[in-house]
């Protein structure tokens, strides 16, 4: 039977832990609010820009800009977005599982795969494994700004143009709601057109296969427009993905810490009950001893 | 967004103005005019596909009889027969602009421009003057409209 003192210590320890998880939950909730506002306000712009670019990609000839051009090679890069900190439930585990699955699949198809990771957890994970890491961006989520996306965008676009890889996918946690995150794998490069996506606005559909550039007016000229629009698009998408992940991380942490606080509460109740029972048993036993002793003296 | 494309009432245009911060306008309008890179242009429903960059300027749209003005700074405009998408770096509705502050900004920018300095500083001052003038102009539009 555990001593009363060790039980008291145990209760105190769990109470401390509960205080910490509670505080972390509050912090995560506050951060979540901010991250959520950011992603919700960034989404319309990113989505509209994506629609415009896809529209454009449909009409512009693929050779007109390097980011539209499909490469012949079989080098695939996966951009893995994880968090910098742990204690956020299955957030990183989910991402990394999907990522390794993806990499294995593509490697089996004879593709040459490489990884670029953002977020410390992902960097650590891949460093301990055999996949090639091309680039790392650890520790950006504390003060996430558009500069980071610019940075990433520049690096990635340059390597894409140099032929370091021929296609780029990204895997990240999408912020669906506070209770839900969804792991998403998206193809980022080459930039693809709307193509089979149903329900595009009507009239130009009827033209069928004649995808003439002439149907679209460009100002200034097509080349110059693509030159500014496409890198911009890529950066905005990268930024959106980072924001999604940041919001999802805080949501996941909040949920995880909420659960932890509740579990700690349950544990405290259980141990306290056991402590009281043990204490009573000890008192009863002592009384019995005294009574027994007094009886014997008679 | 794409899925809204087919619900536009006939004779109307869907105008969406978004900045990196938020969705500013999403409305059915009758007419839009915007400052394109190579001159202002007007759009009526059924316009052909058109994509252009924006310069600093005034965006104007009409819903029935009501006229609306906005200041837009840089970005892109994508025009399709039923929809105009404005992706601006910065955009402000006329009613959100504080006229007095806008005027103060004009004065300040003018001073800075006069003071001169490095070419990059002058250029910066010139741009902020242009921005400030635009905001003032747009804000005053609303004032006039109010008096009329």
Domain of residue A154, residue span: 30-195+203-254
Helical spans, DSSP H, in chain A:
4-59, 91-108, 120-127, 146-162, 222-297
pLDDT tens, residue by residue, B7-52: 678 788 899 999 887 888 899 999 999 988 888 889 998 888 888 8
Are A167 and A96 found together in one domain? yes
Are A189 and A240 found together in one domain? yes
Are A148 and A250 found together in one domain? yes
Chain A's closest residue to B85, CA to CA, is: A48
- Please confirm, yes or no, whether A88 is among the known catalytic residues: yes
Is B147 an interface residue toward A (CB < 8 Å)? no
Taking the CA of residue A182 and the nearest CA in chain B, the distance in Å comes to 21
Q: Which residue did the predictor score with more confidence, A58 or A149?
A: A149
8 Å CB contact of B22 and A217: no
DSSP string, A12-33: HHHHHHHHHHHHHHHHHHHHHH
Q: Which CATH class is domain B97-147?
A: mainly alpha
**Torsion A245-A231-B34-B49 (CA) sign:** negative
Question: Residue A79 is part of a domain; what is its CATH number?
Answer: 3.40.1380.10
Is A35 an interface residue toward B (CB < 8 Å)? no
Q: Which residue has the tokens 């033209």?
A: A207
8 Å CB contact of B52 and A199: no
Are A12 and A46 found together in one domain? no
Is B80 an interface residue toward A (CB < 8 Å)? yes
Give the one of A47, A48, A204 whose C-beta lies nearest to B49's C-beta.
A204
Are A248 and A281 found together in one domain? no
Question: Residue A9 is part of a domain; what is its CATH number?
Answer: 1.10.287.80
Chain A's closest residue to B22, CA to CA, is: A41
Instruction: Sort out which chain A residues have CB atoms less than 8 A from B48's CB and list them.
Output: 215, 217
Instruction: Sort out which chain B residues have CB atoms less than 8 A from A229's CB and list them.
Output: 76
Are A44 and A184 found together in one domain? yes
Q: What is the reported pLDDT for B68?
A: 87
User: What is the mean pLDDT of the segment spanning A112-123?
Assistant: 91
Q: Give the tokens for residue A161.
A: 């143009």
- Across chain A, mean pLDDT equals 86
Tell me B118's DSSP state: S
Band (A104; pLDDT cuts 50, 70, 90)? very high
Instruction: Sort out which chain B residues have CB atoms less than 8 A from A49's CB and list them.
Output: 76, 87
8 Å CB contact of A48 and B85: yes
Band (A84; pLDDT cuts 50, 70, 90)? very high
Same fold, B2-95 and B97-147: no
Are A167 and A261 found together in one domain? no
What CA–CA distance (Å, rounded) separates A35 from A132? 31
Q: What is the reported pLDDT for A194?
A: 55
Specify the CATH number of the domain B2-95: 2.60.15.10
Is B74 an interface residue toward A (CB < 8 Å)? no
Are A119 and A13 found together in one domain? no
Residue A83 has pLDDT above 70, yes or no: yes
For chain B, which residues make up each domain, given as ranges?
A: 2-95, 97-147
Are A178 and A236 found together in one domain? yes
Q: Give the tokens for residue B66.
A: 């009501």
Task: Work out the number of other CB atoms within 10 angstroms of the CB of residue A66.
Answer: 15
Are A273 and A240 found together in one domain? no
Determine if the peptide bond prior to B103 is cis (ω within 30°). no
Tell the burial category of A277 from Cβ atoms under 10 Å away from its Cβ (0-12, 13-18, 19+): exposed
8 Å CB contact of B2 and A200: yes
DSSP string, A138-152: -S-STT--HHHHHHH
Segment holding B137, helix H or strand E: helix B119-147
8 Å CB contact of A220 and B37: yes
Closest by CA to A171, choosing from A113, A210, A251, A250, is: A113
Chain B's closest residue to A215, CA to CA, is: B49
CB B86 within 8 A of CB B73: no
**Beta strands B13-18 and B83-93: pairing type?**
parallel
Q: Give the tokens for residue B141.
A: 């539009």
CB B33 within 8 A of CB B47: no
What CA–CA distance (Å, rounded) separates B100 from A271? 67
Are A250 and A286 found together in one domain? no
Are A191 and A271 found together in one domain? no
Segment holding B109, helix H or strand E: helix B99-115
User: What is the mean pLDDT of the segment spanning A247-253?
Assistant: 94
Number of domains present in the structure of chain A: 2
Q: What is the reported pLDDT for A62?
A: 66
The ipTM is 0.75
pLDDT tens, residue by residue, A185-236: 988 888 876 553 433 343 333 333 334 444 677 777 777 888 888 888 888 9
């Amino acid at each position: 039977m555990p001593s009363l003192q060790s039980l008291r210590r145990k209760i105190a320890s769990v109470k401390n832990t509960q205080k910490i998880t509670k505080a972390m939950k509050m912090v995560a909730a506050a951060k979540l609010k901010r991250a959520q506002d950011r992603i919700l306000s960034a989404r319309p712009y990113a989505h509209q820009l994506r629609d415009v670019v896809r529209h454009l990609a449909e009409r512009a000839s693929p050779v007109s800009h390097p980011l539209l051009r499909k490469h012949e090679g079989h080098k695939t890069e996966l951009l893995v977005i994880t968090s910098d900190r742990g204690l956020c439930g299955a957030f990183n585990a989910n991402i990394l599982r999907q990522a390794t699955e993806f990499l294995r699949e593509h490697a089996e198809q004879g593709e040459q795969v490489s990884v670029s990771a953002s977020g410390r957890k992902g960097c650590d994970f891949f460093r301990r494994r055999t996949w090639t890491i091309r680039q790392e961006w650890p520790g950006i989520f504390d003060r996430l700004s558009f500069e980071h996306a610019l940075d990433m965008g520049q690096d990635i676009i340059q390597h894409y143009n140099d032929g370091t890889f021929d296609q780029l996918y990204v895997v990240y946690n999408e912020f669906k709601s506070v209770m839900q995150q969804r792991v998403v794998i998206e193809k980022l490069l080459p930039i693809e057109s709307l193509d089979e996506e149903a329900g595009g606005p009507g009239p130009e559909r009827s033209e069928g296969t004649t995808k003439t550039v002439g149907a679209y007016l460009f100002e200034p000229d097509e080349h110059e427009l693509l030159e500014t629009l496409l890198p911009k698009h890529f950066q905005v998408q990268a930024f959106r993905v980072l924001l999604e992940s940041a919001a999802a991380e805080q949501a996941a942490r909040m949920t995880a810490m909420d659960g932890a606080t509740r579990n700690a509460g349950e544990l405290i109740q259980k141990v306290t009950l056991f402590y009281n029972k043990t204490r009573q048993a000890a008192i009863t036993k002592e009384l019995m001893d005294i009574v027994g002793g007094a009886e014997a003296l008679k | 967004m794409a899925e809204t494309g087919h619900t536009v009432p006939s004779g109307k245009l869907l105008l969406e103005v978004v900045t990196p911060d938020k969705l500013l306008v999403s409305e059915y309008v009758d007419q839009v005019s915007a400052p394109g890179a190579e001159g202002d242009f007007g759009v009526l429903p059924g316009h052909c596909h058109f994509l252009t960059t924006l310069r600093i300027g005034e965006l104007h749209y009409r819903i029935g009889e009501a006229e609306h003005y906005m200041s837009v700074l840089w970005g892109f405009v994508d025009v399709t027969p039923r929809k105009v998408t404005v992706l601006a770096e910065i955009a402000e509705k006329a009613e959100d602009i504080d006229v007095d502050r806008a005027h103060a900004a004009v004065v300040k920018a003018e001073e800075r421009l006069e003071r001169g300095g490095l070419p990059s500083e002058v250029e910066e001052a010139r741009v902020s003057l242009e921005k400030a003038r635009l905001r003032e102009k747009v804000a005053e539009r609303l004032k006039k409209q109010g008096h009329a």
